A = this chain, B = another copy of it.
Amino acid sequence: MDTIQSDNYPIYFDNSIDELVNFVNKGGYSRFFILTDENTGIHCLPLLKSKIGSEEGYDLIEITAGEESKDIDFCIGVWKMLIDFGADRKSLLINLGGGVISDLGGFAASTFKRGIDFVHVPTTLLSQVDASVGGKTGIDIDSIKNIIGTFTQPKAVFIHYDFLKTLPARQILSGLAEMLKHGLIQDAAYWAELKTSDLKNPSAELVHRSVQIKNKITIEDPHEKGIRKALNFGHTIGHAVETNSLINDADPLSHGEAIAIGMICESYLAHKKTGLSLDELNEIVKVLSDLYPRYTIQESSFDTLLAHMLKDKKNQGGKINCTLLTHIGQCNIDNICTEAELCESLLYYINL
C-alpha cells in the first residue's frame, strides 16, 4: 500500500519494520531508545529486535500497560531513564505500542532537552488509525486526559498491520470506533463500506483509508483552530464517560467503547440541533449498538460527567462545545450545548 505523506514525515505501510531499521541506520543518531510496555514487549518487540540485529546502540524503557501510565509521574520516570541512559540531543525515541506509548513518548521526547526526534510504531488498531498520526502528544494529570502536551510531529510512522493479529477482540473494537467516526464526519462512502465489512477484523485497506482521512484533516489544521475539531465528534461526551469509568469502574471502558457512547449521544444532539435526520440517527445507533456492549450510566452521575465535560480543552469561556453531524459524512464544529441538552442526550442513551 502507498506510503502516505504527512506534514513533513512519511507514514509507511509496506515492509514497515524494514523501513524503520533503514530509518534508524541512515538517521545519524548517537543512540536510540525503545519505549514499550509489557504487552508490546512480548508481542511486538521480538520482531523489532530480530530486524535490528545487534543489541548495542540502544536501550529499552518499559512502562506498565494501561491508561494510568499516561500520568505525569510515569513521564518523569521516562525522562529520568533518558537522563540515566545518557540520552543526548541526537538521540532517537522509538515509541512501540498503543496510544499511551505514542502520546506519552511523544511528549517526553518533544520536551527532553527541548526536543529530541521520535518515531511511532503503533501496535494497536486505535493507535494505527488515530494516535500515531497528526502530531498531538499528551499526558494526563489527575485523570484529566491530555491536559498537558505539545503539537510536535514525529519524524516518521511505521504501521505494521500484522501487529493487529496479536490483539484481543476488545482492542480491535476500541480502534474501530475511530474508524467509524472518520466515515461519519467526512466520508459517507467509507461509512457505507465499513457497515458491510467484517468489522471484527478490519482489513489493511480500511486501516489505510482511515489514516488517509485523519491525515488530510490534521494537515489542513495542525493546531486545531478549525476543521480538526471535526475529529472530536463523540469525544466531548465520550471523554467524560471514559474518565468517569476510569476513576470508578473495576474494569473500565476502553477508549473506543466510551467514544461509541459519545457518538450515540452526540448524534442525538445532532438530530435535535444540526439537522441529522431521524433515519440517519437510527442507522448510527443500530451500527454502534450491534458492535458495542451496553454500558450502565446512572442519572446520579450526570453532575460528575458535566464537570468532566467542562474541563474539555475545546471549551471557551466555560461553555461546552461539541462537533455535531449535519448528515452522515458531514459535520459542523463549535456547537455550544447546554447542560440540559447534554443530560437529555445521556438520557436518550440510557433509554435506548
Where the two chains meet, the residues of A that have a C-beta atom closer than 8 Å to any C-beta of B are: 30, 72, 76, 79-80, 83, 86, 88-90, 107, 110-115, 136-138, 141-142, 144, 146-151, 223-224, 310-311, 313-318
> What are 27 pairs between A and B in contact, CB < 8 Å?
A30-B316, A72-B76, A76-B141, A79-B148, A83-B144, A88-B313, A88-B315, A88-B316, A89-B314, A89-B316, A90-B316, A110-B150, A111-B111, A111-B150, A112-B147, A113-B149, A113-B313, A114-B137, A114-B138, A114-B149, A114-B150, A114-B151, A114-B224, A114-B313, A115-B151, A115-B223, A150-B150
Q: How many copies does the complex hold?
A: 2
**5 nearest A-B residue pairs (beta carbon):** A113-B313, A114-B149, A111-B148, A30-B317, A88-B316
A28 to B115: give the CA distance in the assembly, Å.
Answer: 30
A309 to B86: give the CA distance in the assembly, Å.
Answer: 12
A5 to B151: give the CA distance in the assembly, Å.
Answer: 25
Q: Are B141 and A83 interface neighbours, CB within 8 A?
A: yes
A239 to B30: give the CA distance in the assembly, Å.
Answer: 24
List, in ascending order, chain B residues with CB within 8 A of A310's CB: 86
CB distance from A222 to the nearest CB of B (A): 11
A17 to B223: give the CA distance in the assembly, Å.
Answer: 31
CB distance from A118 to the nearest CB of B (A): 14
Chain B residue with minimal CB distance to A86?
A: B318
Q: Are A142 and B80 interface neighbours, CB within 8 A?
A: yes
A168 to B72: give the CA distance in the assembly, Å.
Answer: 37
List, in ascending order, chain B residues with CB within 8 A of A76's CB: 72, 141
List, in ascending order, chain B residues with CB within 8 A of A224's CB: 114
Chain B residue with minimal CB distance to A319?
A: B88
List, in ascending order, chain B residues with CB within 8 A of A80's CB: 141-142
List, in ascending order, chain B residues with CB within 8 A of A110's CB: 150
List, in ascending order, chain B residues with CB within 8 A of A141's CB: 76, 79-80, 83
Q: Are A115 and B150 interface neighbours, CB within 8 A?
A: yes
- With A83-B311, A89-B314, A114-B150 known, 20 other A-B pairs at CB within 8 A are A72-B76, A76-B141, A79-B141, A79-B147, A83-B141, A83-B147, A88-B318, A89-B313, A90-B316, A90-B317, A111-B111, A111-B149, A111-B150, A113-B147, A113-B313, A114-B137, A114-B146, A114-B151, A114-B224, A115-B151
